[in-house]
Structure 1
Amino acid sequence: MENFRERIKDKKRIVVKIGSSSIIHEETGHLNFERMEHLVRILTDIHNSGKDVVLVSSGAVGVGMKALGLTRKPRSLTMKQACAAVGQGRLIAVYQKLFSEYNQGTAQILLTKNTMLDEIRRLNAKNTFENLFDLNIIPIVNENDTVSTEELEFGDNDTLSAVIAAIVRADLLVLLSDIDGLYTDDPAKHADAELIPVIEVIDDKIESMGKGSNSAVGTGGMVTKIAAANIVTDAGADMIITNAGDLNNLSRIMHGEEVGTLFLAHKRTNFRLLEYLEEKPYFTRR
């Protein structure tokens, strides 16, 4: 049997997504500096090994909520935008400070779905990423929630990270989640649920395993991760879901260890990113 995990060692361009619940203390709403520092150290080490790295990080709205004294996620679009406007600057400042401790340059990139829908803007975004890679910079990406509208937003950073992976022609997308991977059933409710180590084809059975988000600060769930896997694997990259509770999982993945759930690439010859972006709310392309 082919060792799919061993192939991970040879990946050259990696996109890593981390969610709000993984970098924010749920009890207090404050940033988890220890976890962020650990993430930054691992990403810098991966980059130092000769690989291109992109970080897609949630958290701007959550940081803004805390700064504005809010205890619940805002329902209105304008309040969400206000939280993002306050929180994004604070979040990127922390990342820049942490990366600078390891002499690693970073760049902030804020995107909207509207940017990706336009061919010229999409090409400009791709060129920006390529130039940053040439300059040994790690791009830090988030959705530009301050200007996104409900009709033209990605809605979650699982989808955004998949789109980024497709645009930059990444070899691997790693979704750092609050669960070990995709299970046969909800492990919180069913003790006999089993982790699925490898998924070669995303069929109806796999689609049906999607669950919604239970996080107080996050927006995604397993359903958005499977949707992201549809984009990434069709674009020709592998995708792994693993638990952010132990960020060493990221290092283990890059060393070829069996961690999380691996979705195998199977590039579609007629892959067109627009087909996925134009479908709502979550998409299947088979």
Structure 2
Amino acid sequence: MQNKRNIDADRIVVKIGTSTLIRHNSQANLQVIKQLAYALSTLRKAGKDVVLVSSGAIGVGMGVLGLNQRPHKVSEQQAVASIGQTELMQLYSKALQEYGMVAAQMLLTRDVTDYPESHTNVMNTFQELLALPNAIPIINENDSVTVTEMDHHTKFGDNDQLSAIVANLIDADLLIMLSDIDGFYNANPLKVPNAKLIDQVHAIDPDIIELAGGHGSKFGTGGMTTKLKAAKMILKHHQEMILANGKEPSIILNILAGDDVGTLFTNNVASEGVESYD
């Protein structure tokens, strides 16, 4: 019998990574996008507030342009991202329309956290969009005017951390981070066959950070380290995060139903008998 978690979340941020959205041939995974649209629409129709933070602009742009390698120059990355973002939003818009929803694009830059006027404006936009019963905000970094998540370090850093910032901005109850791994392990499962999935993590300490490492696919920029940075922000604000495999985004519905999948990052003490890491 599968364990059940007590997941009580009315406002949810979902982050999906490039490696989940893009196939190895640089083409968008339409099945993943359709299933993601279904899951988000189902939650929205159930009265949940839902925001999607989506990577993939550069990956989709590479597919449109027929590129096999991610460009090295920042200006080239920005151009590819500009093309890819348009295509990605078209794919999301079409998929969401199948379920009576509309996509609302929001491209953010660092000033939403640095400047009060920008913060107020973005919060007003979030408030109005979340008040609409059929709108799903889709967030990405504004890659054409910022180098935050590419080859230069600025405050957002990557979409893993951006998703945590968005969760904090809108006071979300839960961040669901969909990746190409089942959760957080006590060793690299690609190298250690008997690596064990950790059910719950309650603090991002040096021991946890030591377990993380590596980089994402040729299309993306993230790795486990960036996900732990996001989790640290989430725990700091007493929110919760679940890291799970996004190859079938319907897992979102399983998570909200309390199924014990992925790794739960929470300040709440683990239940007796549940594998956890402090």
Instruction: State the TM-score, normalized to the length of structure 2.
Output: 0.90
Partner of residue 60, structure 1: 57
Residue 180 of structure 1 aligns to which amino acid in structure 2?
Answer: D
1:72 equivalenced with 2:74 (yes/no): no
| Residues 194-273 of structure 1 aligned to structure 2 (within 5 Å) | 194-265=196-267
What is the CA distance between 1:4 and its match in structure 2?
8.2
Partner of residue 23, structure 1: 21
Higher relative contact order (CA 8 A, sep 6+): 2
Partner of residue 5, structure 2: 5
Aligned counterpart in structure 1 of residue 181 of structure 2, from 170, 179, 182: 179
Residue 50 of structure 1 aligns to which amino acid in structure 2?
Answer: G
Instruction: Kindly report structure 1 stretches of 4+ aligned residues shifted beyond 4 Å.
Output: none
Partner of residue 272, structure 2: none
Deviation sequence 1:103-130 (CA, Å, 0-9, x none): 1122100011233222221222122111
Structure 2: 5+ residue runs without aligned partners? 269-278
- 2:28–2:63 contact (8 Å) kept in structure 1: no
Partner of residue 95, structure 1: 92
Partners of 2:122 and 2:26 in 1: CA distance: 32
What's the RMSD between the two structures over aligned residues? Answer: 1.5
- 2:178–2:246 contact (8 Å) kept in structure 1: yes
- 1:112–1:153 contact (8 Å) kept in structure 2: no
Residue 185 of structure 2 aligns to which amino acid in structure 1?
Answer: Y
Deviation sequence 1:120-168 (CA, Å, 0-9, x none): 2122212211111111221000111110033546232101101000000
Deviation sequence 1:225-252 (CA, Å, 0-9, x none): 0000011111221000000123232111
| Residues 117-136 of structure 1 aligned to structure 2 (within 5 Å) | 117-136=114-133
- 1:112–1:152 contact (8 Å) kept in structure 2: no
Q: Does the residue aligned with 2:220 lie in a helix, a strand or coil?
A: coil
Percent identity, please.
43
What is the CA distance between 1:192 and its match in structure 2?
2.2
Partner of residue 275, structure 1: none
Partners of 1:205 and 1:123 in 2: CA distance: 38
- 1:18–1:177 contact (8 Å) kept in structure 2: yes
Q: Does the residue aligned with 1:125 lie in a helix, a strand or coil?
A: helix
Structure 1: 5+ residue runs without aligned partners? 267-286
Tell me the matched-pair count.
261
